[in-house]
Amino acid sequence: MFRKTAIALLLAAAGSHAHADIVAQWNFNSVPADGNTATGTLIPFVGVGTASRIGGIAGSFASGDATGGSSDPATGDDSGWQTTTYAAQGTGDKTRGVQFAVSTVGFSDVVINYDLRHSNTSSRYELVQYSLDGANFIDFLTFDGNAGDNWFNARTVDLSSIAGADNNADFAFRVVATFAPGTSAYAASSATGTYGTAGTWRFDMVTVSAAPVPEPETYALMLAGLGLIGVAARRRK
Ligand SMILES: [Ca+2]
Ligand SMILES: [Ca+2]
């Protein structure tokens, strides 16, 4: 019985990569809180990484609580990353948005989550791209932000099928505005709105989660542990 229990515990430890850690998370809130949602930071709240604007868009900070709010549990000084000045209608497909670079060294099974508020005249369709070298970006998933002045919380992008995203110092991803599927024009998020370059996307709770990869020494220790258990079991017999 002891042996079975111990082996079960060791196997559970070996399978610990099934649980996910937060590798990096941006909540965009000032540190320390200053009671002003128009100020914030692009430094991650958890972990290490960089957040940058792509294609010449403008960035600022604005309330993460307004109009229903993001999933950020912070109150009083909850900011989101406000972005605007997207491409003119019919131009610049997939060229404007935001980029996050996060090393996934020591991790596998990468999952991205984020909250995003669409303004009425912002691009309805948001494309998530990933990069394995920090330079070339590959289209992965398109989300439909089919409402204006509305937060779409807990967008989930599961990259566990992309082995190259594991254990990669150059991992990065983008969320960019893209034309409505099958067309060469942006759709407005509001069904009654018209797409415009002044439309805004406001990000919050951008989170990269992944499973820690056990070090080779950990495997060696576990194997050694199994061997000792075997010896102990044989001695008892
Ligand atoms: Ca602030
Ligand atoms: Ca926030």
At 60 the pLDDT is 98
202 CA → ligand 1 middle, Å: 15
Q: Which residue has the tokens 């110092």?
A: 169
Residues 116-166 pLDDT 10s: 999 999 999 999 999 999 999 999 999 999 999 999 999 999 999 999 999
Count the domains in the chain.
Answer: 1
Q: How far is CA 82 from the centre of its chain?
A: 17
Report the SS3 class of residue 3: helix
Give the angle 39-42-45 at the CA atoms, nearest 5°.
100
Cβ proximity of 18 and 107 under 8 Å:
no
Residues 6+ apart with CB under 8 A from 53: 59, 83, 97, 98, 99
Low pLDDT (below 50) residues in the chain: 1-2, 4, 6-17
Query: Does residue 146 lie in a domain region?
Result: yes
Query: Does residue 96 lie in a domain region?
Result: yes
Residue % of the chain over a pLDDT of 70: 83
What is the per-residue DSSP string for 19-76? S-EEEEEE--B-SS--S-TT-B-SS-SEE--EEEEETT-EEEEEESSSTT--S----S
Q: Which residue has the tokens 């060229």?
A: 95
Neighbours of ion ligand 1 (CB under 5 A): 30, 34, 36, 39, 77
Cβ proximity of 37 and 13 under 8 Å:
no
At 1 the pLDDT is 46
At 10 the pLDDT is 47
Q: For 187, phi and psi rounded to 5 degrees?
A: -100, 150
C-alpha 209/C-alpha 195 separation (Å) is 33
At 113 the pLDDT is 98
At 236 the pLDDT is 60
Query: Does residue 119 lie in a domain region?
Result: yes
At 229 the pLDDT is 59
Cβ proximity of 121 and 162 under 8 Å:
no
Q: For 118, phi and psi rounded to 5 degrees?
A: -95, 130
| Domain residue limits at 103 | 19-214
Query: Does residue 237 lie in a domain region?
Result: no
- Tell me the ligand closest to 74's alpha carbon: 2
At 216 the pLDDT is 65
- Tell me the ligand closest to 114's alpha carbon: 2
Query: Does residue 40 lie in a domain region?
Result: yes
C-alpha 200/C-alpha 208 separation (Å) is 23
- Tell me the ligand closest to 73's alpha carbon: 2
62 CA → ligand 2 middle, Å: 9
Query: Does residue 222 lie in a domain region?
Result: no
- Tell me the ligand closest to 33's alpha carbon: 1
C-alpha 100/C-alpha 130 separation (Å) is 10
What is the domain-level CATH number for residue 112?
2.60.120.260
At 19 the pLDDT is 81
136 CA → ligand 2 middle, Å: 29
Query: Does residue 149 lie in a domain region?
Result: yes
Query: Does residue 229 lie in a domain region?
Result: no
Closest C-alpha among 76, 191, 63, 173 to residue 117 = 63
